[in-house]
Structures are given as C-alpha cells and as structure tokens.
Amino acid sequence: MVLAVLALLSLFVFPLWKIVLYAPQYPDGVKMHIWINKIGGETESTLQNINILNHYVGMKKIEPDDIPELNYFPYIILFMAALGLVAAVANKKGLYLAWVVLMVALAVAGLYDFYLWEYDYGHTLDPHAPMQFEGESFQPPLFGTKHIINFTAVSLPHIGGYFAGLSILLAALAWWFKRKIAR
C-alpha cells in the first residue's frame, strides 16, 4: 500500500499525460506534456509553438493560468496520498477497497474533465480565424490517435499516468492479499 502511495506521489515528478502532434514539418512531433499542476512540453517553448499553430484555426490560447484544475489537483493528490498512508497504517482491507474505489472514481472524473477541456478547445473557435474548416473540430483524442487536418494527434498517458494506474493496481493487490489472509 505504501508503494501505491509512492507511485501516486510520482505525479509530482512526471507528467500525467502527453499529446503529440505529428506533421511533415514536425517529424519528431510537437510534444505537449500535461502535469497535475501545469501544462508544458518537451521544451520551454512548446506551448508557444502549439498556440501559434492553433491560432490559425481560431483555437483559444492554452493558458495554464486559465485552468483552475491545475491549482487544486495537487491538493487532491496529496489528500489521496495521506488517505493511502492512513489506510496503510490502519491496515484495514475495507479502507484499501475504499481507496481504490475513490481513486478509480477520481480517474474517471479526471478523464471526463480532460475530455471537457479538449472539447472546449476543439470547438470554441474564433469566427474570424484565418483558416476555417466547415464541420471540422480540432478536439484532440482522449486516448489514442486522431487525424486533425494536416496533423496526426496522439494522446497517451505519460510516465506519471502509468504510475497513477500502477498505484491503483498496487492498492487493489493490497486489498486482495489482505482479503486472502483474512480468510
């Protein structure tokens, strides 16, 4: 269970998610990284470069300051980590299960929130944008690959995302072993 907490805390070290845009002019891809508390990229200027690309089709500028989730998400993670430690100390299988259920619920909520933001960025377009594509949305995929005009967008968990998944798995295992021993 302690390992589950450590895996969860790795979110402060690694990005949660990545969206990579490929095009002929970007053979290595433009790599955006989403953290629990910030949005960045492979380089310091990645976000500026994505915003430049996006402005042609009238997408809003991605301003991390405009996304309140980035402010309170770290506290949720810290709270869950604390709760996990309490569960570990108490060593109760009920608490383990509760933690897993709560984490899954949070993950689903988080992904839904991520989808909403993607929808917002992909559909809220400046009517005066230089380039207009009838009926085209620029919403990146939630998970997997999608072609958006000349770009291939790939959206996948980053290291932090995999650790978060591992965290849930470890907690679930802790619960499962605890239950077995109890029997």
Partner 1 sequence: MKNHSGIKKLLFAGLIIAGISALTAGCGGGPGGSGSGVLGGDVASRVYVKPGSYDEFYAFVSGGFSGQISVYGIPSGRLFKVIPVFSVDAEKGYGFNEETKPMLNTSYGFVPWDDSHHPELSQTDGQTDGRWVFINGNNTPRVARIDLTTFETVEIIEIPNSGGNHSSPFTTENTEYVVAGTRFGVPYPQKDVPINSYAENFKGALTFISVDPEDGDMDIAFQVLLPAFDYDLAHSGKGASHGWTFFSSYNTEQKNSLLEVSASQNDKDFIAAVNWKKAEEYIKAGNYKEMPARYANNEYSDKTHSATSTMKDKVKVLIPSECPGLVYFLPTPKSPHGVDVDPTGEYIVGNGKLSADLTVHSFSKMLKAIENESYETVIDGIPVLKYDDVVAGVVTKPGLGPLHTEFDGKGNAYTTFFISSEVVKWKLGTWEVLDRGPCYYSVGHLCIPGGDSKKPDGKYLIAMNKITKDRYLPTGPELTQSAQLYDISGDKMELLLDFPTIGEPHYAQAIPASRVVDKVVKFYPIEANEHPDATKGEGAAKVERRGNEVHVYMTMIRSHFAPDNIEGVKMGDKVYFHVTNLEQDWDTPHGFAINGARNAELLIMPGQTETLVWEPQKEGVFPFYCTDFCSALHQEMQGYVRVSAANANTPLKWWLGEEEVQ
Q: Of the two residues 64 and 110, which places its CB atom closer to partner 1 in the complex?
A: 64
In 3-state terms the chain splits into helix, strand, coil percentages (rounded to 5) of: 55, 20, 25
Contact region with partner 1 (CB under 8 A), list: 9-17, 39-47, 74-82, 169-177: 39-47
Contact region with partner 1 (CB under 8 A), list: 45-53, 69-77, 89-97, 173-181: 45-53
* Separation between Cα atoms, residue 30 and residue 33, nearest integer Å: 10
Selected binder of partner 1 within 2, 13, 52, 86 (CB under 8 A): 52
Interactions with partner 1, residue window 119-138 (CB under 8 A): 130-131
- Min dist CB 63 to partner 1, Å, is 14
Q: Which residue's structure tokens are 């605890």? A: 178
- Min dist CB 39 to partner 1, Å, is 16
The reply to whether 10 sits near partner 1 by the rule CB under 8 A is no
Interactions with partner 1, residue window 70-129 (CB under 8 A): none
* Separation between Cα atoms, residue 172 and residue 75, nearest integer Å: 23
DSSP-H helix ranges across 64-132: 69-90, 93-123
- Min dist CB 47 to partner 1, Å, is 10
Beta bridge partners, 147, equal: 152
Q: Which residue's structure tokens are 């405009």? A: 66
- Min dist CB 155 to partner 1, Å, is 21
In degrees to the nearest 10, what's the CA dihedral of 71, 72, 76, 77?
0
Q: Of the two residues 45 and 71, which places its CB atom closer to partner 1 in the complex?
A: 45
Q: Of the two residues 66 and 181, which places its CB atom closer to partner 1 in the complex?
A: 66
Q: Of the two residues 43 and 91, which places its CB atom closer to partner 1 in the complex?
A: 43
* Separation between Cα atoms, residue 130 and residue 90, nearest integer Å: 60
Q: Judging by DSSP bridges, how do beta strands 151-157 and 26-34 pair with one another?
A: unpaired
- Interface contacts to partner 1, rule CB under 8 A: 43-45, 48-49, 52, 56, 130-131
